[in-house]
Structure 1
Amino acid sequence: MSQQGFYRPQGAWVGDVIPWQEDGSFHLFYLHETRLTPAAGMPWHRVVTDDLVGFHERGEAIASSGPSADDFNIYTGSIVLGPDGAHHAFYTGQNPANTGRDGRPLQLVMHATSHDGMQTWQRHPVDTFGATDGYETGDWRDPFVYWDEEAQLWRMLITARHATGPARRRGVIAQCLSRDLAHWEPAEAFWDPQRYVAMECPEVFQWGEWWYLVFSEFSDAFTTRYRMSRSQHGPWVVPEHDTLDGRAFYAAKSASRDGRRYFFGWIASREGASDDGAWQWAGTMSVLEATQRTDGTLAFHPTSALRETFDAEIHGAGIGAGTVLNVPDGYAVEMTPVEAPSTFRAVVRFDIADGTTECGLLLRASADGDESYVLRLEPRRGRLVLDRWPRRSTGTEQWQISGDVPFAIELERPCRIEPGMHELEVIVDGDLCVATLDDATVLSTRIYDRPKGHLGFFVGEGTVTVDAFSVFARAERSPEPTVSTHDLIAAAS
C-alpha cells in the first residue's frame, strides 16, 4: 500500500480515530492496535496531516498506565481546547482485571490535559468517574465533549447501556454536564432510541441550520450512521440513506476545515489477509468527505486530495466512449485490453436504460471476465454490492456453488439508480478498495485474493452505454516532508 491518502502504522493497525483540527492541521489521535498476545495495553498514538494525503507519525500520545491501572487500555474519547488555552483529552479507561457491579470489565471516563500543544499529557485521576445509576458499568465509554454556546456549558455524550431492558435494545447515549471540564453532573440521556445494543463513538455538530448526530452500531449492521435535526436537542430525523459506508468502514468521527467536513474511520482487515477471513477490529485509516445537500442530507465521497494523487492517465487502459452493451435477456461484458496496476483510480460514466436489471464494473478480472471482483449496480433493488467469482463452493458438484449467497452480504449499499447517466469511481490501493457511486454513496472494502487483473464493464438484462472510461495511476513523486506546518510553527515559537 502506498500510504497516500490512507494510513497504517508500521507493524500495527489503526483503531478508532479521535480527530482534532487546529491551525489548518488535522491531529488524528487513534487507538494503536498491535494484536500482541498477551495484550500490552492500548495507547493513543497521533499522526498529523495538512493535506489529507501525507500522514506524519508523532508516536505515542497517551500511554497505557500499566497492567494494574484503571487505564491499562485507553479507548476512544475526544479533544477540546479549554478556556485556559490547554488541550483537554477525555478518554475511556478500561482494565479487563477490574470488573464492575455487573461483572464486566469496568469502563471509566478519564481526563488528561496538555499545556505544550498536545506534545505531552498530564493525567487527572481525581476527575475519573464511572457509570451513573441506571447504567451498566461495563458500557461507559467514548466520551465526546463539546461547548454548548446557548446554555454556556460543556456537554459530554457517553456510549452507555441501560441496566435493565431487552438485551439488544438497551443502548443509549448518556449525557453529563460541566462548567469547568473537571466536575461532571449526570443529566437526562441525550438520545435513547431503544433500538441498538450500543451507539459507539458518538459525536454531534452543527453545520449551517442543521445539527447532526453520528454514531456507530453493531446491532442490525456493523456501520456508522447519522441523524439530523434543527436542534441539538432533537427530535432526530432518519435520512433515507443513513449510513456513511458499509461494513468495512467503522467508528468514523469528523473534523471540519474551511467549511468542509471530513470523516476519519478505519477499513477493517480480514483474518489471514483472505477474502474469506473474518473481519477484524482495526485496520487502515481512511478519510471521506461529506457534502451537505439542500435538504440537509449528506453525501459522501473520497477527498479531492486523494483523487488528485492519481494524475497520470493510463491511455488505452479503459473502454472506448460510445460502447453499447445491449442484451435484453442475457449478459454481456467488455474487457480492457491491459491489466490495471495494483494501485489505480478508475472513473466510468455510463447511461443506464430503463428496465435494466444489473450492470457494473469488474475488478482484477481474468482476461475473459469470468473470474473477478464485481461491483454490481442493481437498479430494481436500489443497491450497490460487492460480489466475486468464483464464489465459495461447498462441494465438487455444480449445484454446490454458493449461488444462494448472491454477494458479500455485509457489503451492500442502498442508493437510487434511476435510468440515465451515472458515474462509478473506484480507488484501489493494494488490498484497499473504495468505490463511489455518483459522488454520494461509498462502499469500502478489502480485496486480498486477486492481486492483479483486468477491468471490465458488464450488463445483465438491459442496455448500458459507456460515455467515458478512464484509468489513472500515480505519477512518481518526491519524498513527503517529515514535519507538518503545525510542527514548524510550534518549533518556531
Structure 2
Amino acid sequence: MKVISIIMVVVCVIFFAGCGEKEDALQLENDKNKKENVELSNQVIRRLFPKLESAWVGDVMPLVDGKEIYINYLYETDYNGVAYHPIYQFTTTDFCEYRNRGEVIPYGRKLDSPDLAIGTGSFIRDKEGIYHCFYTGHNDKAPILGIDKECIMHAVSKDNLNWEKIPEDTFYAPEGFSTDDFRDPFVMWNEEEKCYWMILGAKENGKEGSCIVKYTSDNLKNWTFQGIFYEEKDLYFMECPNLLQINEWYYLIFSWNNVTYYRMSRDINGPWIQPENDTFDGKAFYAAKAIKYNENYYLLGFIARKKRNKDELDYSWAGNLCIYELVQKKDGTLGVKVPREYENKYFTKIMDWNVEEKMEEVFTNNTDLVEIYSKGEKFNYASLGILPKSMLLSCKISFDESSNDVKAGFIFGIDEKGGGYPIVFNISEKMICYDGYQLGGLFETDIRNMQKFDFKAGETYNVKLVVEDEIIIVYVDDMKVLSNRIYNAINNKWGFFVSKGRVVFSDITIKIPEQGQER
C-alpha cells in the first residue's frame, strides 16, 4: 500500500507539473476555434450529408425552433488533444441546404474541468424563451484528479448562439451507479405531469447490462432522481436515449456499438415492447435522435467514416450528418425512407441512362427495365457507366418464384475484370448487406454491414438508392435502409448484378440535382 501511495504521488506531481503548459495549449486551441468560427460563420453548405471541411459530425442534438431546425453536434477531428468535442451547430429548413453557425459550447479550459471533453446532450427552449443545453461532462484524467469521470452539466442562452455555462447546476451519478458511465441526457416537457423529464444512460454497480434512468424538474435547475426508467440485460450501455410520440405510440430510441435501436409502448412509462426487427439501419448510422418537423417525423444521426478512406477497414466514430424520414406502420412499428425534401427540392432533373456494358443473359430496353439471369454461383451484371456524383435512383426489384437462393442488388467500382463492391439483397439469409471487399465471390467478411429484411422469392420490392460521393444508401419498401461508404465507387462504373437466379429491375428512374445546385 505504501509503494502504491508513493507511485500515485509521483504521478500526480508529474501531471500537475505540466498543467500550465497544457492549459496554455488549450487556450490556443480555443482561440483557433474562435478564429475558425469567424471565418466560416454563416457558410452555406448545399449537400445532403454535410460536414465541415476540417472536421467530422459526431453525436447530434437537434432542436426544432419554429420554422428552423438547429442541429447541434459533437465536433470531431483527426487530431484531438487532451480536450475535445466542443459543440458546433448547423441550421436548416429543408435538409438540403445547411448554414454553419460554428462553435456554440466550448469544452473546459482547465485540465481539471469536468467538461474537458464534452459528450452528448440535448437542447430545449423553456416557456420564457430561454434556451437550455444539458450535456455530458467527461474528463479522462478523472482517476488522477480524484473526480467522477462523467457528470451532467447545464448551459443557457438567450439567442441559441451565445451560451453561458452554469457550473453550480452540475450533478453526478446517484449512489449505486457507475461514475464512469453516466451520460447523454435528453430533456423534454411532459405535459401530462406538468414537469420536465430528463432521461440518460447509466449502469448499476455490480450488475450486467445497462439502464436508462429518469429525473424530473419544475425549473430546469433542480433535478430529482426518479429511479430506473428502462433496463437492458444484453447491452453494455444505451447511449443517446430519446423519446418520441407518434399518434398513440411512444418510442424510446437509443444506440450502442454502432447500431441504433428502438422500443415502443402505448404508455410513456412503459412497459416497452421490443419489435421483432428493432433497428433502422446497419452499423454505419449511429447516435440517432428523432424530431417532429412540419408535421413529419425524422431521424437524425451520422454516417460513420472509414479511416484513410479504405473500403477494407471497419467504420470509425463520427462522419457526416444523415437524415431519414420516419414512417409509422399500422402495427405501430417504425420504418425509414428517403426524406421527402430530397425528392421534392434536391433531385429535380431526370437523367437518361443506358446499359453501357453487360455480361451474358442480360436484357434491357434502356428505358426503364433491366433483366438479369445467372446460373449457379456465377454472377452477371449490367453496367450503367460512371456513377454520378449525386443521384437518386428509384426502381422495383422482382425476384423469380424459383429464386430462393438468389443474391442481387447494386455493384460499384466495377473494374476491367468485372469485379466490384456489391450491396447485396440476400433472399436465403433475409438481409441487405455490404462486405466492403471487391467481389471475387459473394462471401461474408469480418466487417460486414447488414440490416435484416424478410425478402421472399416471387415478390417485388420498391427500392431507392441515394448517392453523394462515397456515401451510398439503399432504402427498401419504406421500411429499412443500409447506409455505406464505398470509396472505390467514386468516378468508377456501377450497375445491377444477379447471382444464382433471375431478377428484374423495372420502373427505373434516375434523378440528379440541377447543374451547380449541389456544392
Q: Are 2:135 and 1:91 equivalent residues in the alignment? A: yes
Match of 2:312 among 271, 276, 300: 276
Task: Indicate the residue corresponding to 1:335 in structure 2.
Answer: 382
Structure 1 counterpart of 2:81, one-letter code = P
Match of 2:464 among 418, 425, 441: 425
Shift of 1:360: 2.5
Q: Which structure is larger by alpha-carbon Rg, 1 or 2?
A: 2
Alpha-carbon deviations, 1:290-312, whole Å to 9, x = none? 01111111110221222342222
TM score, norm. by length of structure 1: 0.88
Match of 2:185 among 139, 143, 156: 143
Structure 2 counterpart of 1:298, one-letter code = L
Structure 1 counterpart of 2:323, one-letter code = V
Paired residues, what number? 461
Structure 1 gaps of 5+ residues are 392-400, 481-493
Structure 2: distance between partners of 1:353 and 1:439: 22
Q: Determine if contact 1:275/1:446 at 8 Å carries over to the other structure.
A: yes
Structure 2 counterpart of 1:259, one-letter code = E
Structure 1: distance between partners of 2:292 and 2:353: 39
SS in 2 for 1:336: strand
Structure 2: distance between partners of 1:322 and 1:11: 42
What do you get for the CA RMSD once the two structures are aligned? 2.3
Task: Indicate the residue corresponding to 1:157 in structure 2.
Answer: 199
Structure 1 counterpart of 2:123, one-letter code = I
SS in 2 for 1:422: strand
Match of 1:304 among 336, 340, 345: 340
* Structure with greater proportional helix content: 2
Q: Are 2:275 and 1:239 equivalent residues in the alignment? A: yes
Match of 2:169 among 127, 149, 154: 127
TM score, norm. by length of structure 2: 0.83
Structure 1: distance between partners of 2:408 and 2:348: 24
Shift of 1:408: 6.1
Shift of 1:246: 0.8
Task: Indicate the residue corresponding to 2:414 in structure 1.
Answer: 366
Alpha-carbon deviations, 1:69-123, whole Å to 9, x = none? 111212111111223321111111112122499x8961110111112x2021121
Question: Mean alpha-carbon deviation: is it higher for 278-287 or for 460-469?
Answer: 460-469
Question: Mean alpha-carbon deviation: is it higher for 381-390 or for 134-143?
Answer: 381-390
Q: 1:363 to 1:461 in 2, by over 3 A?
A: closer
Alpha-carbon deviations, 1:379-405, whole Å to 9, x = none? 2221111145536xxxxxxxxx8x695
SS in 2 for 1:96: coil
Q: Are 2:491 and 1:444 equivalent residues in the alignment? A: no
Q: Determine if contact 2:46/2:517 at 8 Å carries over to the other structure.
A: no
Structure 1 counterpart of 2:350, one-letter code = E
**How do 1:46-445 residues align onto structure 2 when only pairs under 5 Å count?**
46-68=89-111, 69-99=113-143, 106-115=149-158, 117-166=159-208, 169=209, 171-218=210-257, 222-308=258-344, 309-317=346-354, 319-320=364-365, 321-327=368-374, 329=376, 331-356=378-403, 357-366=405-414, 370-387=418-435, 390=438, 405-407=443-445, 409-418=447-456, 419-445=458-484
Question: Mean alpha-carbon deviation: is it higher for 291-300 or for 103-112?
Answer: 103-112
Q: 1:84 to 1:466 in 2, by over 3 A?
A: closer
Structure 1 counterpart of 2:406, one-letter code = E
Identity of aligned residues (%): 28
Structure 2: distance between partners of 1:143 and 1:37: 24
Q: Determine if contact 1:100/1:138 at 8 Å carries over to the other structure.
A: no
Q: Determine if contact 2:217/2:224 at 8 Å carries over to the other structure.
A: yes
Shift of 1:48: 0.3
Task: Indicate the residue corresponding to 1:27 in structure 2.
Answer: 70
Q: Determine if contact 2:48/2:468 at 8 Å carries over to the other structure.
A: no
Question: Mean alpha-carbon deviation: is it higher for 67-76 or for 381-390?
Answer: 381-390
Structure 2: distance between partners of 1:96 and 1:409: 29
Question: Mean alpha-carbon deviation: is it higher for 404-413 or for 301-310?
Answer: 404-413
Instruction: Flag the structure with more relative contact order, 1 or 2, with Cα contacts below 8 A and sequence separation at least 6.
Output: 1
The 4+ residue runs of structure 1 with deviation greater than 6 A are: none
Q: Determine if contact 2:290/2:300 at 8 Å carries over to the other structure.
A: yes
Shift of 1:12: 0.5
Shift of 1:186: 1.1
Structure 1 counterpart of 2:107, one-letter code = S
Structure 2: distance between partners of 1:311 and 1:111: 43
Question: Mean alpha-carbon deviation: is it higher for 46-55 or for 63-72?
Answer: 63-72
SS in 2 for 1:449: helix
Alpha-carbon deviations, 1:251-305, whole Å to 9, x = none? 0102111221111111111111111234221111111110111111111022122
Q: Are 2:51 and 1:12 equivalent residues in the alignment? A: no
Structure 1: distance between partners of 2:128 and 2:389: 49
Question: Mean alpha-carbon deviation: is it higher for 424-433 or for 45-54?
Answer: 424-433
